């Protein structure tokens, strides 16, 4: 099979859907089908040719699964490009780059692909995300931070997307997470900046930290609590609330 050219589909084309790609939704397929009825096919689907996910070599849709479904629905031929890959990391990196460039994926969409190839830190992150519903960007930084300071020391989301997320201080991160969850009843919401500001407060006062003191401060200063979702320096505001409680 030749590569690096554009092919047109036909009725006998056998393709697979990667198990860790985003779930396809009928609503999105129908919306694309309406457009295709009017304008025909636009764009190019990216497929990979590999034996990583079956016993034989075959084509798998890497980018454009909804468009393929819509094209099949309205009987429109689609164009596709083929890339040959030989390892799981290459598949996920290519998928991530394609979706990152098109802004088609949210942060959480990167978890399942990296979990599927045995990256255990992503499984831990998924469990915590499901259990707590805390902001994912904050959880990424908490779990991957060795220390907490002005930059909180954790992974950037770009590293997370590349599969480079690591658990650097799991026990401390989970200690902070549980203490942050205890504040939920008195907060408007736990945002990503608030989570990181609280992490800094907790670590700074770890030996003497009293949950009841902060809860009392938040209850007494409701106007300041509202500001915690808006102010630029949330860290300073939170530290001040705790000190004067």
User: Quick one: pLDDT at residue 23?
Assistant: 82
Reported as a single tens digit per residue, the pLDDT across 200-224 is 899 989 899 999 999 988 888 766 6
User: Is 194's pLDDT higher than 90?
Assistant: no
* pLDDT score, position 85: 84
Q: CA of 192: how far to CAs of 30, 68, 141, 152, 203, in Å?
A: 35, 36, 10, 12, 17
Domain match, 191 and 219 both: yes
Determine the pLDDT at residue 136.
93
Model pLDDT for residues 150-187, shown as the tens digit of each residue: 445 455 777 888 888 999 889 999 999 999 999 998 88
- Whether 26 and 90 share a structural domain: yes
| 112 located within any domain | no
Report the CATH number at residue 71: 3.90.1530
Q: What is the pLDDT of residue 145?
A: 84
> What is the model's pLDDT at position 150?
47
Q: 99 with 124, same domain?
A: no
Is 225 part of any domain? Answer: yes
Over residues 114-129, mean pLDDT: 93
User: Domain check: are 126 and 189 in the same one?
Assistant: yes
Instruction: Decide which of 77, 105, 133 is a domain's last residue.
Output: 105
pLDDT of residue 171: 93
Do residues 73 and 173 both lie within one domain? no
Which token pair is 198? Answer: 């609280």
Question: How many domains would you assign to the chain?
Answer: 2
Same-domain check for residues 85 and 154 = no
88 plus 164 within the same structural domain? no
Q: Is the pLDDT reported for residue 104 higher than 70?
A: no
139 lies in the same domain as 82: no
CA torsion angle 38 25 3 39 (round to 10): 0
Query: Hey, what are 228's tokens?
Result: 């915690």
Task: Give the pTM.
Answer: 0.70
Spatial distance between the Cα atoms of 34 and 66, rounded to a whole number of angstroms: 13
Last residue within a domain, chosen from 40, 74, 105: 105
Contact predicate 10/75, CB 8 Å: no
Q: How much is the mean pLDDT over the chain?
A: 84
Decide if 66 is inside a domain: yes
Q: Which domain holds residue 205?
A: 120-244
In this structure, the answer to whether residues 26 and 93 fall within a common structural domain is: yes
For residues 226 and 137, membership in a common domain is answered with: yes
Residues 156 and 88 in one domain: no
Q: What average pLDDT score do residues 24-44 get?
A: 91
Residue 191: pLDDT band (50, 70, 90) is confident
Q: Is pLDDT at 84 greater than 70 in this prediction? A: yes
Does 114 map to a domain? Answer: no
Residues 66, 137, single domain; the answer is no
Residue 102, pLDDT above cutoff 60: no
Q: Which helix (H) or strand (E) holds 59?
A: strand 58-63
């Amino acid at each position: 099979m030749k590569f690096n050219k554009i092919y047109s589909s036909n009725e006998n084309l056998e393709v697979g859907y990667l198990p860790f790609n985003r779930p396809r939704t009928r609503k999105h397929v129908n919306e694309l089908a309406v457009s295709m009825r009017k304008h025909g096919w636009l764009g190019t689907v990216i497929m990979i040719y590999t034996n990583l996910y079956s016993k034989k070599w075959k084509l798998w849709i890497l980018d454009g699964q909804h468009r393929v479904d819509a094209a099949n629905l309205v009987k429109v031929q689609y164009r596709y490009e083929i890339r040959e890959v030989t390892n799981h990391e290459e598949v996920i990196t290519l998928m991530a780059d394609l979706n990152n460039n098109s802004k088609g994926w949210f942060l959480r969409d990167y978890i399942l692909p990296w979990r599927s190839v045995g990256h255990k830190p992503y499984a831990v992150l998924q469990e915590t995300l499901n259990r707590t519903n805390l902001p994912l960007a904050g959880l990424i930084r908490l779990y991957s931070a060795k220390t907490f300071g002005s930059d909180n020391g954790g992974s950037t989301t770009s590293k997370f997307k590349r599969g480079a997320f690591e658990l650097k201080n799991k026990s401390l991160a989970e200690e902070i997470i549980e203490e942050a969850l205890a504040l939920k009843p008195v907060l408007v919401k736990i945002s990503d900046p608030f989570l990181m500001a609280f992490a800094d407060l907790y670590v700074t006062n770890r030996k003497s930290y009293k949950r009841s003191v902060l809860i009392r401060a938040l209850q007494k200063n409701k106007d300041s609590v509202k500001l915690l979702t808006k102010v630029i320096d949330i860290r300073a505001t939170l530290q001040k609330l705790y000190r004067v409680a």
